[in-house]
Amino acid sequence: MTGKITGIFNILATPFTANYDVDYDSLKNLVEFQMDKGAYGLTILGVMGEAAKLSVDERKAVMDTVVETVNGAIPVVVGTSHPETATCIELSSAAFSAGADGVMIAPPRMEDKSDEAIMALYRTIAEKITDPIVVQDFPPINDVLMSPDLLAKIADEIPNARYLKLEDPPLMEKIGAIRERTDKFEIFGGLGGMFLLEELKRGASGTMTGFAFTEILVAVYDAFNTGELDTAETIFDKYLPLIRYENQPQINLTIRKEFLKRRGAMVNATPREPFNPIDAGTHEEISWLLKRVGIDDPTVKLKL
C-alpha cells in the first residue's frame, strides 16, 4: 500500500491483442504512461476496464501485473465487483495480498434491491475485508439505486467503506445531498471527467475516469486545489470538446482506446467482444478534434 486515495485516478483500460488475449506488454506500458502523465493513482478492472469480459484468472493476472509495474509509486484501487459475493471477497483478498490500496465494489444485479439487502451485502464483505472499500454507485451497470440516505448509512456504519465512486446523475446534486448527511466519504466523480470542475466545487475529492488525456484533469485538479480557479476553468474549458467527444454513449470505450493507441500507450485499440466499433468518419473526427484543441502530437505529454 502506498498512500491516500484522493485526486485524479485513471481508470485503466485493459489492452488486448488482435486475438483478444490480454496484452500484458501493452498493459505495463499503459501503467507507465499514466504515471508519466501525473495520475494520482490507478483504478483497474472497472467497467471501462472490461472486467466483466475477463475470467477470474485473467483479472488476477492483470492485477498482479499492474501492482508489480507500479511498484509502490502511486496507489492502486482494484475493481472486485462480481455477481457472486464469495468471488468478490476472494478477488478483494487477492488484491490486498498483492499490495492494492483499496478495492472498488458495486452491488451486483439483485432481486432484492432494498436498502437492507445492500447494507447486508457490504457488511458481509466488510466482515472479511478490513482494508479500504470504494463503494461504486453506478445504476446503469446493475440497476441498483442507492439513495443519499443509504450511502451515508454505509459510510457511518461500515468503518472501511470511506470512499465513494459516484456515477448516478445528476452528480453534483447527489454529492451535495451526501455531503449534507455525512462527512465520512471521500467522493469521486466519473462519467469521463465531463463535470470535474462542478464536482470539485460541490466537495468531491477527485475523480476516477479513464479519459485518455490524464494530464488535463490533473492540471485542472491541481489549479483548483491551489485556489487558481481561473486557471482551472481555462484549462477545463479549452479541452472540454475532447472530453465530450470521448464520452459518447455506446462507443466511448472504443474512442478512448483509439486515443490511447494514438498516444502510443497501447498497440491495439480494439476492445474485447462484444463492443461497438467506430467507423471511418469517427476516425476522421478524432483527427479533426485533436487539431481543433491544439494537439499536434498526441504522443507528447501536454504542456498545461
**Measured distance CA(64)–CA(187) in Å, rounded:** 26
Amino acid at position 294, single letter: G
Task: Enter the pTM of the model.
Answer: 0.96
Question: Which band of pLDDT confidence, cut at 50, 70 and 90, is reported for residue 3?
Answer: low
Looking from the CA of 292 toward its CB, the CA atoms found within 13 Å total 14
Q: What number is the average pLDDT over the span 131-148?
A: 94
Give the separation between CA 158 and CA 132, rounded to whole angstroms.
10
Give the CA radius of gyration of the chain.
18
Residue type, 16: F
pLDDT digits (tens, 9 = 90+) for 263-304: 999 999 999 999 999 999 999 999 999 999 999 999 999 999
Q: Which residues, in sequence order, are bridge partners of residue 209? A: 10
pLDDT tens string 45-84? 999 999 999 999 999 999 999 999 999 999 999 999 999 9
What is the number of residues in the chain? 304
Q: Which helix (H) or strand (E) holds 35?
A: helix 24-36
Handedness of CA 79, 85, 128, 121 (dihedral sign): positive
* pLDDT of the residue at 269: 97
pLDDT at 20 over 70: yes
Q: 30 and 15 in contact (C-beta within 8 Å)?
A: yes
Candidates 159, 35, 152, 45; CA nearest to 103 is: 45
Tens digit of each residue's pLDDT (9 = 90 or more) over 142-181: 999 999 999 999 999 999 999 999 999 999 999 999 999 9
Query: Count H helices, E strands: the chain?
Result: 12, 8
Q: What mean pLDDT comes out for the span 79-99?
A: 96
Q: What domains can be seen in the chain, in order of their start residue?
A: 7-292 (3.20.20.70)
